Homo-oligomer: A and B are copies of this chain.
């Protein structure tokens, strides 16, 4: 994706758009040239993010690779041997990125990120294919979204292509050891992160930031045959709102949900199904996008998910891919599934369920991948769904299998981005 193609959604407020444009002007010099879609050009001469200048220092203390689903992996604390960091300041631009041994960061107690949530991130995976190769999945989309998130949270701009090169470099360095070829079908979780380490305590746009990329050992989080259990949120609990930042992958969308998520877990559910507004519009589930498949009253099978237009849900890479695959592969004569992005309310879902028209629900995201929903708790009701062995209903299962084939190299597809190992 060319940088100039990064869309600032048309519903962006003018003040926010102008603020983002001004921010990028100062921080991401030339790559925004010529864009007219909210990101303006600039003639700044400060250094850009430049992967070609990467300085490499390999570890002298390599760590053991934990076994899949070992306690170390389940704890989600183990990262690979290396990380990449790159500093930025308002006056000097982007510094030389460094690939170096994984280790702690040092921050002043006044650092902006610790007080004002000036932070954003991405979630991606590195897959070890059945053909022995390493792949990313549509990583350009993550890098472009990271720019949108960083601009929304007043962090510096950068060329997403350079971020992708850095991600690839880290994957190429640690992939061979941490995703051994004898474990095809395994993955590492990639977490590009940007934080404001500006030590000035005033509430203001940060003048210093740190971009870093780490690779974590993560368990599979898609559920078994019982599927996910979702607890519908109440009217007075809101994850995101129009005019807010629900569309961006910023820390501020996550911490505030943890109390409700924790309470859901304490009651035996996996995640919250986030309903919004007086009409209980269905938005996201946990930190994943949410889909349903139902029959309309006239018998049309539809795959439905909430639209991006209100900017209260994340423009998920998996979400996009589900929609595209469904349009390509499920709309033929065999299945004849209509793919619909529209607002829908919980009451519509409930009605369909009671009339036997709600065929399945599933969540889609990088962490949880495609996970069928086995149960939804709402007030005193419990909606239950029978799932297949893969933990999905029929349609989610078809989509999941297609995506896995692309991710793990069983099917050649432009979405699979091969990483050549060092």
Contact = CB atoms under 8 A, between A and B. Distances in A.
A151 B255 CA distance: 11
A238 B242 contact: yes
- Copies in the assembly, this chain: 2
Nearest to A241: B241
A191 B195 contact: no
Interface string A201-240: 1111110000010101010000000000001011111100
Give chain A's interface residue range (CB within 8 Å of chain B): 35 or more
Contact of A113 (B77, B113, B199): B113
A119 interface: yes
Nearest to A249: B115
A110 B234 CA distance: 31
Contact of A193 (B75, B109, B242, B263): B109
Nearest to A252: B252
Given A114-B195, A153-B258, A15 B200 contact: no
A263 B203 contact: no
Given A16-B237, A107-B107, A251-B252, A261 B203 contact: yes
Contacts of A191: 110, 115, 201
B193 A115 contact: yes
Given A104-B109, A152-B259, A233-B15, A203 B241 contact: no
B260 A19 contact: yes
Interface string A312-355: 00000000000000000000000000000000000000000000
Nearest to A121: B115
Contacts of A113: 113-114, 251
